[in-house]
Amino acid sequence: MNRRSADCCPRLRAFVRRIVPGPMRAALRRTVADLGHRRRDLVPDLRERLFPAPGLPLPPARLRHRVGPNSSRAEFLHVGALCAADLMKVYAQLGRPAEGDRRWLDFGCGCGRVARHLIGNEASRQAGIDYSGVDVDRSQIDWAARHLGGRFEVIPTAPPTALASGSYDLIFTISVFTHLDEAMQDAWLAELTRLLRPGGLLLATTHAPEIARTSPGVTAPELELLERTGFLFRPSVGPFNEQSAFHSEAYLRENWARQLQPRGFFPFALGSFQDISAWERA
pLDDT tens-digit series, residues 54-87: 578 999 999 998 888 888 899 999 999 999 999 9
**Which pLDDT does position 200 carry in this prediction?**
98
* Contact residues for 142 (Cβ-Cβ < 8 A; gap 6+): none
Report the candidate in 97, 239, 246, 137 with the shortest Cα–Cα distance to residue 181. 246
**Which pLDDT does position 55 carry in this prediction?**
76
pLDDT at 125 over 90: no
Q: pLDDT band for position 127 (50/70/90)?
A: confident
Q: pLDDT band for position 124 (50/70/90)?
A: confident
* Lowest mean pLDDT across 3-12, 22-31, 141-150, 273-282: 3-12
Q: pLDDT band for position 21 (50/70/90)?
A: low
238-243 average pLDDT score: 57
* Contact residues for 116 (Cβ-Cβ < 8 A; gap 6+): 56, 80, 148
* Lowest mean pLDDT across 68-82, 101-115, 222-236: 68-82
Which residue type, as a one-letter code, is found at position 76?
F
15-28 average pLDDT score: 61
- Are the C-beta atoms of residues 79 and 271 closer than 8 Å to each other? yes
What span, in angstroms and rounded, lies between the C-alpha atoms of 175 and 214? 18
Q: pLDDT band for position 151 (50/70/90)?
A: very high
Q: pLDDT band for position 128 (50/70/90)?
A: confident
pLDDT at 88 over 80: yes
**Which pLDDT does position 27 carry in this prediction?**
56
215-225 average pLDDT score: 93
What span, in angstroms and rounded, lies between the C-alpha atoms of 206 and 175? 7
**Which pLDDT does position 29 carry in this prediction?**
60
Question: Using a CB cutoff of 8 Å and minimum separation of 24, what contacts does 136-139 make?
Answer: 137/66, 137/110, 139/63
Q: Is the peptide bond before 221 cis (omega within 30 degrees of 0)?
A: no
pLDDT at 113 over 60: yes
- Are the C-beta atoms of residues 166 and 195 closer than 8 Å to each other? yes
pLDDT at 157 over 90: yes
Alpha helices by DSSP H, listed for the chain, are: 3-19, 22-40, 42-50, 61-66, 73-93, 122-127, 138-147, 182-195, 209-213, 220-229, 249-255
109-133 average pLDDT score: 88
Domains of the chain, first to last: 68-280 (3.40.50.150)
pLDDT at 238 over 60: no
